[in-house]
Amino acid sequence: MLANALQGVRVIDLSRILAGPWCTQNLADLGADVLKIERPVQGDDTRGWGPPFATAGSGEKVAAYFLSCNRGKQSVTADFADAADRDWLLRQVRDADVLVENYKVGTLAKYGLDYASLAAINPGLIYLSVTGFGQSGPFAHKPGYDYIFQGMGGLMSYTGIADGEPGAGPLRTGVAVVDLMTGMYATSAVLAALVQRARTGRGQHLDIALLDVAVAMNANQASNYLVSGESPARIGNTHPNLAPYEVFACADGHVILAIGNDTQFVAFCRLMGADWHLQPDFATNAGRLTHLKRLRPLLREKLAAWRVEALGRALDEHGISWGNVNDMEQVFAHPQVRHRQMLQTVDHPQLGTLRLVRNPMVPAGRDAPVTPPPVLGPAARPRTHQPVNQET
């Protein structure tokens, strides 16, 4: 079972916000023992990123944002500026397999918690640094959040309403996709480093940057530019390489129509009672892309007369890919989502019943129990003073 794949692997999680915690949550879901080290008093920044909040019997509030990316971890608070706390953390590192951090470049070196210092006491340590711009380069010292990199990395340049259309302008995605993709790349890098360490016995420093990920995740859009020399423009809900492939209004809602090849387009035309596939300008995907401004009004007129449910049945019968635009309530009520058990319920000792989303890497079932995210944990050691918050 993948839920036990990393059993026995110890992870020290010094990361906050989303990219780093998304990685360490993946590792926890795969069976690793993850110790999340948080700042005293306020903990991870996202504990306060609400509403909405889940509230413990003690009155402690935990933001839903934090709950989304810290499943399966144990929380302990420590102050890096405190020598005793720092010594305690170093003892944890001696037996750790992985350490994940997302502090600004150079911050942890001030406390002797940088890779060079920790590798000296644990040569097998896999040390993952997640930063905005990476460990080197002219921007390495700068901080940054996901939103910044959606813009800097190019994603927002072609995401949004096309110029000349109402509401024209760039848009970010509705979720922090650069953070999430960074967390996934980081997870893959850690798993690869664990495999490599099994062969060599040595750990290493992994340098994962949000800007690097933002550039990489442009995928076909980046390739389109590199081949053509032309930067892709904002095209709303259309696709840069396929047509028709966008959202259309029906009589009672919207559908996403996804025509992936010319054969599907022929089937679609027959369903619509149209002969567009016989017209040279529309017979091929390349032609439909070139002449999309003429094709789109024809599609809109036909589809506007259909009701969503009837259209969906007809598209299914003709083997044409389509989908609804669901809100969250509809998502978790969807029969396939329910069948796949993507919604999981877990009893939290302080927060009561929590509803969480299953990690799609880990099959649902009794062999993959869900461990809830922690409330802010106890201090690493008893204190008689007010802690000094470490630099972030």
Residues known to be catalytic: 179
Instruction: Give yes or no for a contact between 134 and 212, defined as CB atoms under 8 angstroms apart.
Output: yes
Helix axes 262-272, 308-317, angle to 10 degrees: 130
Nearest to 265 by CA among 289, 247, 249, 234: 289
What span, in angstroms and rounded, lies between the C-alpha atoms of 28 and 8? 11
CB-based contacts of 155: which residues, under 8 Å, 6+ apart?
A: 172, 173, 177, 178, 214, 217, 218
55-88: buried (b, 16+ CB within 10 Å) or exposed (e) per residue?
ebeeeebbbebbbbbbbbbebbbbbbebeebbeb
Nearest to 354 by CA among 55, 59, 19: 55
Instruction: Give yes or no for a contact between 74 and 12, defined as CB atoms under 8 angstroms apart.
Output: no
What span, in angstroms and rounded, lies between the C-alpha atoms of 243 and 286? 8
Q: Residue 107 is encoded by which pair of tokens?
A: 């911050």
What span, in angstroms and rounded, lies between the C-alpha atoms of 21 and 72? 11
What is the DSSP-derived secondary structure letter of residue 84?
H
3-state DSSP assignment of residue 205: strand
Q: Return phi, psi of residue 247, to 5°.
A: -90, 135
Q: Residue 145 is encoded by which pair of tokens?
A: 């959040």
339-356: buried (b, 16+ CB within 10 Å) or exposed (e) per residue?
eeebebeeebeebeebeb
* Beta pairing partners, 323: 256
